[in-house]
Amino acid sequence: MKREDIYCNLRKYSSIHLGTMSVFLIYLLIQALIEDTMQIGRGSLITAAILLFVDIVCEMSCLWEKRVPWTIVRAGELSVFTFYFFEKGISCCLVFYIAACVITVLELFYAFDITDVRNRNIVLVGAAVPALITILINIARSGIHSQNLFGMVCAYGVLLFMTGRIAEAMGEQITGYEENLFEQKRMAEFTKETNRALYEQQEKVKRTNEELGLQKIKLEEANQKINNVNSEMMIQNIIMKYISTSLEINTLMKYITESVLESSGLNLCAIVLKPGAVENETSIYEIRTRLKEDANRLLEEYISSNYLDSYIESKEIFVDNYIKDGVYPFIRNNEVCSLMILPLVNQGTAMGAILCGHGAYDYFEDNCSFYETIVSQFLIALNNANLYAKMQQMAHKDSMTGLYNRGHLNYMVDRCSKEAVEQNKVLSIALFDIDHFKKINDTYGHLLGDAVIKEISRLASKVAKTYDGIAGRYGGEEFVLVLPGRSKMEAKKIIEELREQINEIQIPYEDGVVTTRISAGLSCYPETCTRINELLRRADTAMYESKDSGGDAVTIDSKE
């Protein structure tokens, strides 16, 4: 039994002991007052007062913390209690004597470790010593009959026996309690160790999960990068496929803008080409967006008005990953948050730009190289388209005048004729010839004759573009003007306008100028010719009628 537990129990019993002695003293005082004499209880009264004083001193000085002095005091008190037990016999004071004896013996048990059997036996033997001495004194005095003495001995023996049994039960209980407490502590320690191990394991699992989480994030980022690279490679392959299968620049612009918009998740993708990029006389553009219709119209207006020319001429990539409201008038607020403009620069010449926009901020950071690759591929497409356009021009157009040659002109006439028949529309064809052109060549030379042909070709091309027609050189000094959708009177007015402009031509020669005239014939389907494949022949016949009438005239084919 632990020393702290012994002191705790001794303190409790000491307090009980002190209380018992106080009650006993009060009882004796009251008894003395009732019997009106101090003679009867004087000895008991004095003894009780002395013992009470001793107990108070013991309690105040914590004598129970000092085993030897405390044992001496309690052994003395036990002797006094035993003497009075046998001296007074069975009386009302006996209850106090018994209580005091039991408490004192129990205190002695606790003083010498009540859980130890050997110590309990020693205390019992020691507690019997005062009784044995008292019995011997009484036998010597012969003041008590032997029968009464025998009864007292038996009673005291039973008292000691019962006290011993009580002490034994209490010791076993304390032992069981201590064993149980020890087991609980051991279990608590085991549980604590187990919990500590579990906590450490949980921390390891937590750290492992955190590491796995970081690895997962890194894997997701790597996977995203791989997906982006695959997507970019797919777009590049698609563009290369388009470049290799089509030389028509408008078709390529459409395919590229659609592919980039859909595969990159952009809100806006547009390609703008300046005049001359692919033999084009005006700016051309292709726009693909996910924006609202009014936003598309706004963007088209600004692009068609050459608003992006400053970005194109800078020849530097422009990126704004955090667009503020109102900064770019061609973009409506909150629809495009990141903007990139990549100029198309070929051999130092700015040819146009690719415009890209995304709905998220900070989008064009790590992917600029991809869009630069798109620019490089598109420049290849532009070069191929230019080569193709030049080849087409060489194959389809007259090298001197730039008008369609006779072979391609026949093709264009056939196509327009087919459309006129299928769509039930009018088609007018005019054929005109330079009056007295041989005389011009013979008089002024072929160089001036070529200058006349070039100037007439320029005016014919201008009129054709103005009225959505087609101009071609039919041969030598003969030209054809095809006017789809124009009636004979509308066509005659246009040809007369061309004739008047040609009459105003003045080509310098030495100290003077050279003028020229034309004779034209006009045929119209179905107004003057119901067989559309004879339009050109009928126009040629009408032209010779103009020549036969003196030239510088426009003759309409007579209806069949």
| Three-class HEC string of 8-20 | HHHHHHHHHHHHH
Confidence class for position 184, pLDDT limits 50, 70, 90? confident
Confidence class for position 243, pLDDT limits 50, 70, 90? low
Q: What tokens appear for 528 in the block? A: 């003057």
Residue 200 belongs to a domain: no
The pLDDT tens digits for 371-417 are: 788 788 778 877 777 777 777 767 778 888 889 888 888 989 999 99
Residue 21 belongs to a domain: yes
Both 351 and 407 in one domain: the answer is: no
This prediction's pTM: 0.48
Say yes or no to pLDDT of 58 above 50: yes
Residue-level pLDDT at 37: 47
Average pLDDT over residues 313-338: 83
Residue-level pLDDT at 74: 73
Q: Secondary structure of 324-366 in the HEC alphabet?
A: CCCCCCCCCCCCCCEEEEEEEEECCEEEEEEEEEECCCCCCCC
Tokens 């006017």: give the residue: 483
Both 356 and 459 in one domain: the answer is: no
- Rounded to whole angstroms, the Cα distance separating 215 from 227 reads 18
Residue-level pLDDT at 40: 44
Q: What percent of the chain has pLDDT over 70?
A: 78
The number of folded domains in the chain is 3
Both 179 and 268 in one domain: the answer is: no
Residue-level pLDDT at 394: 73
Residue 231 belongs to a domain: no
- Rounded to whole angstroms, the Cα distance separating 366 from 376 reads 18
Cβ neighbours for 46, distance < 8 A, ≥ 6 positions apart: none
Report the range of poorest mean pLDDT among 93-102, 294-303, 428-437, 472-481: 93-102
Both 38 and 165 in one domain: the answer is: yes
Both 8 and 155 in one domain: the answer is: yes
Report the range of poorest mean pLDDT among 19-23, 249-253, 314-318, 386-390: 19-23
Report the range of poorest mean pLDDT among 233-247, 267-281, 329-343, 424-438: 233-247
The pLDDT tens digits for 2-55 are: 666 666 666 666 776 676 667 666 766 666 666 554 444 566 667 777 777 777
Say yes or no to pLDDT of 112 above 80: no
Say yes or no to pLDDT of 97 above 60: yes
Both 407 and 387 in one domain: the answer is: no
Q: What residue numbers bound the domain in which 352 lies? A: 246-391
- The count of other CB atoms within 10 Å of the CB of residue 546 is 23
Report the range of poorest mean pLDDT among 352-366, 388-402, 416-430: 388-402
More confident residue, 115 or 301: 301
Residue-level pLDDT at 38: 44
Torsion of CA 47, 52, 58, 62, to 10 degrees: 160
Residue-level pLDDT at 495: 95
What amino acid occupies position 319?
A: V
More confident residue, 207 or 46: 207
Residue-level pLDDT at 535: 92
DSSP state, 323? P
Say yes or no to pLDDT of 210 above 70: yes
Would the CA dihedral through 95, 98, 101, 106 be positive or negative?
negative
Q: What percent of the chain has pLDDT over 90?
A: 21
CB hemisphere CA count around 370 (13 angstroms): 21
Both 302 and 338 in one domain: the answer is: yes
Q: What is the mean pLDDT of the chain?
A: 80
Average pLDDT over residues 283-305: 83
Residue-level pLDDT at 39: 47
Q: What tokens appear for 358 in the block? A: 């995304």
| Beta strands, E only, 8-58 | none
Both 509 and 527 in one domain: the answer is: yes
Q: Are 267 and 335 in contact (CB under 8 A)?
A: yes
Both 382 and 418 in one domain: the answer is: no
- Rounded to whole angstroms, the Cα distance separating 341 from 315 reads 10
Residue 100 belongs to a domain: yes
Please choose, from the candidates 48, 160, 182, the residue with its C-alpha nearest in 3D space to the C-alpha of residue 109.
Answer: 160
Last residue within a domain, chosen from 370, 391, 412: 391
Residue 387 belongs to a domain: yes
Residue 214 belongs to a domain: no
- Rounded to whole angstroms, the Cα distance separating 28 from 17 reads 17
Q: Are 469 and 413 in contact (CB under 8 A)?
A: no
Both 349 and 466 in one domain: the answer is: no
Cis amide leading into 526 (omega within 30)? yes
Average pLDDT over residues 122-139: 78
Average pLDDT over residues 126-144: 74
Last residue within a domain, chosen from 191, 221, 256: 191
Both 97 and 68 in one domain: the answer is: yes
The CATH number given to whatever domain includes residue 367 is 3.30.450.40
Say yes or no to pLDDT of 217 above 90: no
Residue-level pLDDT at 377: 78
- Rounded to whole angstroms, the Cα distance separating 353 from 305 reads 14
Backbone angles phi, psi at 53, to 5 degrees: -65, -45
Helix axes 249-264, 368-396, angle to 10 degrees: 160
Residue 163 belongs to a domain: yes
Last residue within a domain, chosen from 351, 375, 391: 391
Torsion of CA 357, 359, 364, 367, to 10 degrees: -90
Confidence class for position 244, pLDDT limits 50, 70, 90? low
What amino acid occupies position 236?
A: Q
- What counts of helices (H) and strands (E) characterise the chain? 15, 12
Residue 208 belongs to a domain: no
Residue-level pLDDT at 378: 78
Both 262 and 335 in one domain: the answer is: yes
The CATH number given to whatever domain includes residue 551 is 3.30.70.270
Checking DSSP bridges between strand 518-525 and strand 553-556, what pairing results, if any?
Answer: parallel
Q: In whole angstroms, what separates CA 223 from the centre of its chain?
A: 15
- Rounded to whole angstroms, the Cα distance separating 558 from 530 reads 12
Q: Are 535 and 454 in contact (CB under 8 A)?
A: no
